[in-house]
């Protein structure tokens, strides 16, 4: 039995068994156990939460329909009958009602965007005219569905157009339709599997967080040590030079989405940094990189060092290097790292990087957009750490401010992101959907605080959470998690102090924390071992007796809103 096997229910107006088979056979995490709802039962399953198809309690629902199956009016329109397009949109609205209801039964509802076969010419050059064209209408249907379901947090509409485009001629299979009521070729289903897996991986916090790039023939053309930075192939009126600039622009664009960039390159560090700062056509400068390891050491070793320094996991790394030998080395030494198979032709680099799905995230927050800036600030903080002797002295010199706030709805996207992504400083690694979080908060005796951390170098944003569940005269710390970028700056103690202070005011006797081990949350266990809490073997918990207040962290300024 797989540790994280997710149950999926697939419902459709056509034969969707091939998608189920491909999903079940895909080893990529999370592993899925997919079953198809009975054929012809799409609406009964959606409408009736007691339908036998729900018995296995799926966590995922996949709904894939043809537009003519959910809209009788659309079916008439493809026969070129004269019917008002507005009627189709009303039918889309009606279809969205059971969809949003069904979304409540599962953690994630995937809906495939509607499309019509490429072979259907429709009204030809009038296809994009409003009120006439059916392709135009299908787009409107998709938009209408997206608008209707926009507020349903756990609904993801997947872009089936892209799958058809990538599958080319074999996307639509009229023969398979007549033989087995399968409208699409296998390529389409394979792309669908990839997107479903990507989304589930992102939802469980496994999106890639860092791109580590090589320099020579990857960020620029030519070998720096041989040519000198003045003669690198980069920019100018040259297709190759232009392609490297475009590649750098694409990397910079990805960093705006919250993915940080690092360098691991076999070069002389000073010469490489000089090239990065001085070459007039460089798009990426020092401040665009969260960190680098530029030396003549083994690249696998350098990658480990860099991600450890940045408090990231190896499984959050995408490694990009033009040299197949280096790629093979990293792939062999660090199987957790995603080693991208960069095309041989550098004119294709930009398209290649833009097509990677591993950076997809289920939400986009301000913290994501600012991530590179935060890592650059962290680098500067660490430079200060070298100058200042003691840890306490360093912490005081940072002028850290922690602003705490009880749970508020507007913070929930970022709180959920932290809950579902944080691995290392995470007590229980409890993963939650938005509805589950709200439901938990609303229960009596449940309390949650989030904190924003700032210092003289800048604002790290909402980076920590603690939650309590009051049980009689005691309180259990249910969630205790902190973003990697503020670990070790007494924010941990600040969170505990906040919860303990609240518990004292409620007249409670003790607070306790149960560490649920995962392969990644050892740092949290280490923190509790040193936190002053006593480990009680009988209850398997770290306990603090509240007759004594938890020590106030001296090097931090606390503000409570």
How many residues bind other proteins (CB under 8 A)? The answer is 19
Residue 271: partners with Cβ closer than 8 Å, 6 or more residues away: 224, 225, 229
Return the range that interacts with other proteins (CB under 8 A); candidates 21-29, 116-124, 151-159, 479-487: 21-29
The residue among 25 and 539 lying less far from other proteins, judged by its C-beta, is 25
Q: How far apart are CA 171 and CA 426, in angstroms?
A: 44
Please list, in sequence order, all residues whose beta carbon lies within 8 angstroms of the beta carbon of residue 156, skipping any fewer than 6 positions away.
108, 109, 110, 111, 199, 362
Q: How do strand 446-455 and strand 400-406 relate by DSSP bridges?
A: antiparallel
CB of 180 to other proteins, least distance (A): 4
Write out the DSSP string of 275-328. HHHH-TT-SS-GGGEEEEEEESS-HHHHHHHHHHHTT--GGGEEEE-S-HHHHH
Q: Given the complex with other proteins, which of 185 and 235 has the nearer CB atom?
A: 185
**Contacting other proteins within 148-187 (CB under 8 A):** 170, 173, 175-176, 178-180, 182, 185-186
Sole window of 18-26, 271-279, 320-328, 497-505 interacting with other proteins (rule: CB under 8 A): 18-26
- Residue closer to other proteins by CB (options 85, 197) is 197
Query: What's the chain's Rg over C-alpha atoms?
Result: 27
Output 192 or 448, the one with its CB closest to other proteins. 192
Q: Which stretch binds other proteins (CB under 8 A): 22-30, 241-249, 287-295, 458-466?
A: 22-30
For residue 25, the minimal CB distance to other proteins (Å) is 6
Closer residue to other proteins, CB minimum distance, 18 or 429: 18
- In the chain, DSSP finds a helix count (H) and a strand count (E) of 22, 19
Q: Which is nearer to other proteins, 166 or 309 (CB)?
A: 166
Residue 26 or 323 with smaller CB distance to other proteins: 26
Determine, following the binding rule CB under 8 A, whether residue 194 of this chain makes contact with other proteins. no
Beta carbon of residue 188, minimum distance to other proteins (angstroms, whole number): 12
- Tokens at residue 285, please? 């400068």
Q: Which of residues 18 and 160 has its CB atom nearest to other proteins in the complex?
A: 18
Cα–Cα distance measured from residue 561 to residue 548, given in angstroms and rounded to the nearest whole number: 25
- Residue 319 main-chain phi, psi, to 5 deg: -110, 130
**The one among 7, 15, 323, 501 contacting other proteins by CB under 8 A:** 15
Q: Which of 2, 5, 25, 439 binds other proteins (CB under 8 A)?
A: 25
Cβ density class 530-560: b for 16+ within 10 Å, e for less: ebebeeeeeeebbebebeeebeebebbebee
Contacting residue, 6, 9, 10, 22, with other proteins by CB under 8 A: 22
Q: Using CA atoms in the order 349, 255, 108, 134, what is the torsion angle rounded to 10 degrees?
A: -60
Crossing angle of helices 391-398 and 371-387, rounded to 10°: 130
- Cβ 196 to other proteins shortest distance, Å: 15
CB nearer other proteins, residue 170 or residue 536: 170
Residue 508 CA neighbour count, 13 Å, CB half? 25
Strand, coil or helix: what is 28?
Answer: coil
CB of 17 vs other proteins, minimal distance in Å: 5
Q: How far is the CB of 390 from other proteins (least distance, A)?
A: 59
The contact set with other proteins (CB under 8 A) reads 15, 17-18, 20-22, 24-25, 170, 173, 175-176, 178-180, 182, 185-186, 190
């Amino acid at each position: 039995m797989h540790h994280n096997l997710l149950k999926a229910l697939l419902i459709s107006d056509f034969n969707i068994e091939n998608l189920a088979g491909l999903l079940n056979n895909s080893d990529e995490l999370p592993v899925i156990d997919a079953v198809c709802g009975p054929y012809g039962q799409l609406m009964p399953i959606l409408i009736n939460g007691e339908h036998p198809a729900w018995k296995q309690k799926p966590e995922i629902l996949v709904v894939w329909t043809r537009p003519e199956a959910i809209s009788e009016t659309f079916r008439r329109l493809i026969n070129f009958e004269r019917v008002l397009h507005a009627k189709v949109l009303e039918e889309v609205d009606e279809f969205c009602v059971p969809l949003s209801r069904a979304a409540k039964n599962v953690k994630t509802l995937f809906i495939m965007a509607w499309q019509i076969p490429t072979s259907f010419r429709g009204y030809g050059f009038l296809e994009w005219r409003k009120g006439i064209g059916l392709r135009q209408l299908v787009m409107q249907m998709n938009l209408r569905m997206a608008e209707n379901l926009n507020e349903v947090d756990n609904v993801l509409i997947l872009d089936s157009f892209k799958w058809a485009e990538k599958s080319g001629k074999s996307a639509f299979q009229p023969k398979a339709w007549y033989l087995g009521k399968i409208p699409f070729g296998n390529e389409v289903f394979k792309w669908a599997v990839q997107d479903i897996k990507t989304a589930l991986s992102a939802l469980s916090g496994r999106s890639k967080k860092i791109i580590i790039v090589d320099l020579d023939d990857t960020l620029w053309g030519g070998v720096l040590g041989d040519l000198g930075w003045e003669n690198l192939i980069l920019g100018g009126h040259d297709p190759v030079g232009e392609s490297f600039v475009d590649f750098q622009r694409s990397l910079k664009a990805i960093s705006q989405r919250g993915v940080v960039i690092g360098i691991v390159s076999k070069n002389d560090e000073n010469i490489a940094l000089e090239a990065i700062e001085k070459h007039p056509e460089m798009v990426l400068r020092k401040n665009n990189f969260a960190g680098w390891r530029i030396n003549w050491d083994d690249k696998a070793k350098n990658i480990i060092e860099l991600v450890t320094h940045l408090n990231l996991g190896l499984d959050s790394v995408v490694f990009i290097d033009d040299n197949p030998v280096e790629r093979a080395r990293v792939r062999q030494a660090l199987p957790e790292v995603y080693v991208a198979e960069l095309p041989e032709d550098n004119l294709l680099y930009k398209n290649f990087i833009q097509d990677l799905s591993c950076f997809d995230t289920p939400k986009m927050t301000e913290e994501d957009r600012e991530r590179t800036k935060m890592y650059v600030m962290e680098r500067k903080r660490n430079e200060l750490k070298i100058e200042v002797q003691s840890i306490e002295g360093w912490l005081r010199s940072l002028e850290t401010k922690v602003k705490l706030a009880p749970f508020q709805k507007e913070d929930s996207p970022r709180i959920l992101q932290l809950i579902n992504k944080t691995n290392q400083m995470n007590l229980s690694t409890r993963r939650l959907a938005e509805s589950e979080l709200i439901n938990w908060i609303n229960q009596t005796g449940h309390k949650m605080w989030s904190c924003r951390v700032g210092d003289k170098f800048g604002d790290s944003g909402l980076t920590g959470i603690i939650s309590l569940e009051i049980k009689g005269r005691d309180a259990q710390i249910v969630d205790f998690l902190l973003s990697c970028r503020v670990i070790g700056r007494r924010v941990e103690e600040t969170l505990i102090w906040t919860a303990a202070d609240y518990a004292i005011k409620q007249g409670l006797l003790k607070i306790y924390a149960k560490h649920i081990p995962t392969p990644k949350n050892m740092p949290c266990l280490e923190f509790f071992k040193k936190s002053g809490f006593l480990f009680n073997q009988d209850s398997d918990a770290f306990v603090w007796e509240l007759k004594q207040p938890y020590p106030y962290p001296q090097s931090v300024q606390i503000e409570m809103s």
